[in-house]
């Protein structure tokens, strides 16, 4: 006998424990991907209950369903699609009034709803109680109290899901009273929709038309209401446009504004519900979170605390990556000669050995050695800060200076992750709800010096500047931060000028980290996926570079494609103090910036592959002046992002326009700064 199948959509505000419930119910039977056509992650999981298979779909965390962000559009479209048999609306019991705004919008869309009151333990610690039965009666749908981290209430939640899905528990969702005028207009539009063949969720569609919802209005304009779900009206495009015209006239007659009035009434209703069902058990006292926040978000102490956190993470990343990178380097140093020896034993042609070992394997090994350790450390550190509740506080503290640039505090978090790897910084932009700020973060992250550029840069700076290495390296870091800040300000004054930059920041209570979830989110969901893509790009690119340096076989350096590139690119670098050898080496570092030293060895004709060579570090100080050395380092730290970063930009934006701009912005910035540094140095006689 086939199992019954129940599909459940899980909705809720960010940081309400939705993921904890999802993980507790599904365990390891999960799959994480992207929503079709979107860059927002989609998590699905399956669990068994008696003779039923229940599939959970974790919808993006959102504060409303107003279709103002990709997360809101995804959540709303999925709810009205008809796919979920039940929608589970997870609520933070300690912030019931604010969370009810989303619950009420869901109840307007479907009556197949179960409300989860999560974090009941924290509510009790704060001295409150909620009359669950009264709340259930008020909302007209099952309400289940839970403590997801301890598994409390989850069996009752499963029973409620099954009961609603199979009709054993009847629901009668509450309707918010929007006032005599709005309610009258809603009824008029509902009658019109019914006459056009729309029999379900007419109230919700009428409300969206009165609110001037962009997606719903556009659907009616185009005569294609498929966005409204399987029960969309089947009338002609002309009839739909006529109905839209009526809605516009009704909306414009509401004073002061229909959307404002609808939102206001919804919050008034939530406020009344809160005061009917929530009661204080003991006098109010400051919670542990409030006491800690007095220090962490203090207008003075917040600055050294935030700086200390970033410095600690940065120091741990650099030190840890150096140690772990050394282990990986030792592993590959042991493995590569074994492969080379085996190929020699089977009498493989020289070009097979060279292409496979000196090209593909060396390129992949270099990327893994440099990228993997900092990515593991940074992703784990930020996942831990997120679980603790510190990440939103850091964004809050840094919001004020970022406002000057037209941005917000969360962008600094992406910059912090970019110090480990620009790819991680771009992927971290998902924490930013505002589309404009998210794009700004994606476009400016490549200007932050990553661990690959930093590690290789230190080796070059020490070789080129000796005892002046420290101030030179510090100046390069400052150039990087200054360039990212300048680019942010320019973008907000030009491309994104006039677009809103505000954001909603959730301040969750401090909690003990769930180490299993931290490790899974950091290592599996993020590091594993990113490293696989990096290998896919770096391997073929390193192989191509080897080919360019080794054909025709046995030819002198000048006759190889590398020699031709050096001669061709030389004129382009003159205004910036860069030679053809420098530019060609920088072109070769596009797979990964950490191969800059062996790439310079190839372009100067000292070697024919990307195997590390100390010879070039002894050679360069003899042929580069201090000014040429410094201009090269400035350009190297800021120029084009690596290929994996370009891929990450495309993955997050799905736009050729933004991907190309993500390449052009650092190139133009690097060219401008390098030109000023070189020409200024010449004027000063350096």
Instruction: Check whether residue 155 and residue 185 sit in a common domain.
Output: no
Instruction: Check whether residue 160 and residue 188 sit in a common domain.
Output: no
Instruction: Check whether residue 30 and residue 124 sit in a common domain.
Output: yes
| Predicted local confidence at residue 37, as pLDDT | 55
Closest by CA to 406, choosing from 428, 370, 439, is: 439
**Residue 485: inside a domain:** no
Least confident of 134-143, 177-186, 478-487: 177-186
pTM of the model: 0.64
The Cα–Cα gap between 277 and 129 comes to 8
Q: Is the Cβ–Cβ distance between 432 and 503 less than 8 Å?
A: yes
Q: Which of 108, 138, 165 is the last residue of a domain?
A: 165
**Residue 204: inside a domain:** yes
**Residue 354: inside a domain:** no
Average pLDDT score over residue span 623-634? 93
Q: What sign for the dihedral angle of Cα 344, 346, 350, 352?
A: negative
Q: Is the Cβ–Cβ distance between 143 and 117 less than 8 Å?
A: yes
Q: In a 3-state reduction of DSSP, which class is residue 564?
A: helix
Closest by CA to 198, choosing from 239, 225, 231, 230, is: 231
For residue 500, pLDDT over 60 is answered with no
Instruction: Check whether residue 129 and residue 235 sit in a common domain.
Output: no
Instruction: Check whether residue 78 and residue 137 sit in a common domain.
Output: yes
The Cα–Cα gap between 181 and 651 comes to 46
Residues contacting residue 366 through CB under 8 Å, at least 6 positions apart: 538, 542, 592, 594, 595, 610
Instruction: Check whether residue 25 and residue 159 sit in a common domain.
Output: yes
DSSP string of 75-106?
A: HHHHHHTS--SEEEEEEEGGGHHHHHHHHHHH
**Residue 20: inside a domain:** yes
The gap between the terminal CA atoms of the chain, to the nearest Å, is 84
Q: Is the Cβ–Cβ distance between 119 and 16 less than 8 Å?
A: yes
| Predicted local confidence at residue 199, as pLDDT | 61
Name 47's bridge partners.
54
pLDDT in tens, 263-273: 888 989 999 99
Closest by CA to 484, choosing from 667, 677, 666, is: 666
Instruction: Check whether residue 185 and residue 161 sit in a common domain.
Output: no
Q: Which residue has the tokens 């800040």?
A: 485
For residue 360, pLDDT over 90 is answered with no
| Predicted local confidence at residue 533, as pLDDT | 64
Residues contacting residue 408 through CB under 8 Å, at least 6 positions apart: 395, 399, 402, 432, 434, 437, 501, 502, 503
SS3 per residue for 479-505: HHHHHHHHHHHHHHHCCCCCCCCCCCC
Q: What sign for the dihedral angle of Cα 549, 553, 554, 556?
A: negative
Instruction: Check whether residue 152 and residue 13 sit in a common domain.
Output: yes
Burial-class residue 51 by CB neighbours within 10 Å (0-12, 13-18, 19+): exposed
Q: Is the Cβ–Cβ distance between 608 and 549 less than 8 Å?
A: yes
User: What dihedral do alpha carbons 55, 60, 64, 66 form, nearest 10°?
Assistant: -100
Q: Which of 165, 199, 226 is the last residue of a domain?
A: 165
**Tokens describing residue 666:** 């650092």
What rounded mean pLDDT belongs to the chain? 83
The Cα–Cα gap between 444 and 417 comes to 12
**Residue 104: inside a domain:** yes
Burial-class residue 370 by CB neighbours within 10 Å (0-12, 13-18, 19+): buried
**Residue 131: inside a domain:** yes
Q: Which domain holds residue 79?
A: 4-165
Instruction: Check whether residue 147 and residue 196 sit in a common domain.
Output: no
The CATH number of residue 85's host domain is: 3.40.50.300
In total, how many domains does the chain have?
2
The Cα–Cα gap between 6 and 85 comes to 6
**Residue 277: inside a domain:** no
User: What dihedral do alpha carbons 543, 548, 550, 554 form, nearest 10°?
Assistant: 160
**Residue 596: inside a domain:** no
Instruction: Check whether residue 212 and residue 81 sit in a common domain.
Output: no
The pair phi, psi for residue 464, each rounded to 5°, is -85, -30
| Predicted local confidence at residue 499, as pLDDT | 55
For residue 212, pLDDT over 70 is answered with yes
Q: Is the Cβ–Cβ distance between 50 and 98 less than 8 Å?
A: no
Q: Which residue has the tokens 């042929």?
A: 623
pLDDT in tens, 396-412: 888 888 888 988 888 88
Average pLDDT score over residue span 661-680? 94
| Predicted local confidence at residue 577, as pLDDT | 92
Task: Identify the band that residue 529 occupies on the pLDDT scale cut at 50, 70 and 90.
Answer: low
Instruction: Check whether residue 26 and residue 131 sit in a common domain.
Output: yes
Q: Which of 97, 131, 165 is the last residue of a domain?
A: 165
Task: Identify the band that residue 186 occupies on the pLDDT scale cut at 50, 70 and 90.
Answer: confident
pLDDT in tens, 429-442: 877 877 788 899 99
Average pLDDT score over residue span 654-680? 94
Q: Is the Cβ–Cβ distance between 14 and 61 less than 8 Å?
A: yes
Closest by CA to 112, choosing from 169, 158, 62, is: 169
Instruction: Check whether residue 148 and residue 36 sit in a common domain.
Output: yes
């Amino acid at each position: 006998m086939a199992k019954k199948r129940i599909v459940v959509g899980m909705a809720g505000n960010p940081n309400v424990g939705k993921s904890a419930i999802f993980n507790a119910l599904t365990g390891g039977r999960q799959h994480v991907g992207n929503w079709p056509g979107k860059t927002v992650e989609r998590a699905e999981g399956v669990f068994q209950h008696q003779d039923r298979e229940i599939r959970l779909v974790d919808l993006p965390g959102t504060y409303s369903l107003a279709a103002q962000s990709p997360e809101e559009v995804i959540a709303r479209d999925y709810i009205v699609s008809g796919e979920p048999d039940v929608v589970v609306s997870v609520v933070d019991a300690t912030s019931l009034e604010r969370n009810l705004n989303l619950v009420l919008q869901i109840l307007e869309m479907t009556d197949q709803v179960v409300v989860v009151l999560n974090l009941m333990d924290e509510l009790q610690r704060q001295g409150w109680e909620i009359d669950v039965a009264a709340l259930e009666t008020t909302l007209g749908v099952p309400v289940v109290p839970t403590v997801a981290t301890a598994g409390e209430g989850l069996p009752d939640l499963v029973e409620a899901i099954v009961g609603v899905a199979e009709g054993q528990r009847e629901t009668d969702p509450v309707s918010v009273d929007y006032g005599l005028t709005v309610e009258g207009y809603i009824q008029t539009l509902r009658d019109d929709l019914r006459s056009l063949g729309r029999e379900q969720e007419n109230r919700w569609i009428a409300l969206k038309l009165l609110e001037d919802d962009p997606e719903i209005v556009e659907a009616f304009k185009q005569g294609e209401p498929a966005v409204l779900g399987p029960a969309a009206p089947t009338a002609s495009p002309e009839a739909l446009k006529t109905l839209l015209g009526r809605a516009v006239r009704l909306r414009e007659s509401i004073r002061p504004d229909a959307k404002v009035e609808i939102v206001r009434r919804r919050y008034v209703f939530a406020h009344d519900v809160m005061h009917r069902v929530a009661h204080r058990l003991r006098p109010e006292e400051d919670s542990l979170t409030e006491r800690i926040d007095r220090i962490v978000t203090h207008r003075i102490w917040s600055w050294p605390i935030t700086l200390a956190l970033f410095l600690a993470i940065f120091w741990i990343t650099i030190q840890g990556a150096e140690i772990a990178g050394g282990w990986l380097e030792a592993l590959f140093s042991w493995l590569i000669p074994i492969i080379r020896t085996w190929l020699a034993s089977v009498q493989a042609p020289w070009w097979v050995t060279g292409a496979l070992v000196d090209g593909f394997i060396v390129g992949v090994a270099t990327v893994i050695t440099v990228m993997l350790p900092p990515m593991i450390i940074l992703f784990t550190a930020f996942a831990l800060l997120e679980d603790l509740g510190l990440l939103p506080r850091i964004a809050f503290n840094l919001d004020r200076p970022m406002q000057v640039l037209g941005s917000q505090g969360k962008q600094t978090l992406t910059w912090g992750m970019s110090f480990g790897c620009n790819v991680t910084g771009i992927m971290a932009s998902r924490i930013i709800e505002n589309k404009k700020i998210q794009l700004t973060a994606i476009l400016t992250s490549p200007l932050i010096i990553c661990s690959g550029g930093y590690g290789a840069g230190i080796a070059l700076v020490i070789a080129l500047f000796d005892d002046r290495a420290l101030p030179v390296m510090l100046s390069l870091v400052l150039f990087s931060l200054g360039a990212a800040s300048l680019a942010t300000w320019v973008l907000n004054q030009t491309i994104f000028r006039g677009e809103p930059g505000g954001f909603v920041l959730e301040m969750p209570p401090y909690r003990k980290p769930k180490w299993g979830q931290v490790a899974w989110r950091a290592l599996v969901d993020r590091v594993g996926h990113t490293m696989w893509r990096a290998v896919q790009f770096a391997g073929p690119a390193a192989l191509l570079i080897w080919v360019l340096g080794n054909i025709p076989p046995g030819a002198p350096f000048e006759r190889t494609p590398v020699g031709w590139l050096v001669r061709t690119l030389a004129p382009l670098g003159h205004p910036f103090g860069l030679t053809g050898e420098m530019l060609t080496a920088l072109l070769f570092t596009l797979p990964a910036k950490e191969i800059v030293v062996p790439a310079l060895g190839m372009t100067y004709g000292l070697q024919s592959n990307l195997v590390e060579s100390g010879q070039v570090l002894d050679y360069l100080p003899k042929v580069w002046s201090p000014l040429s050395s410094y201009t090269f380092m400035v350009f190297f730290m800021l120029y084009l992002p690596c290929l994996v970063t370009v891929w990450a930009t495309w993955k997050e934006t799905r736009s050729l326009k933004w991907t190309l701009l993500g390449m052009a912005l650092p190139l133009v910035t690097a060219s401008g700064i390098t030109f000023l540094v070189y020409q200024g140095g010449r004027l000063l006689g350096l």
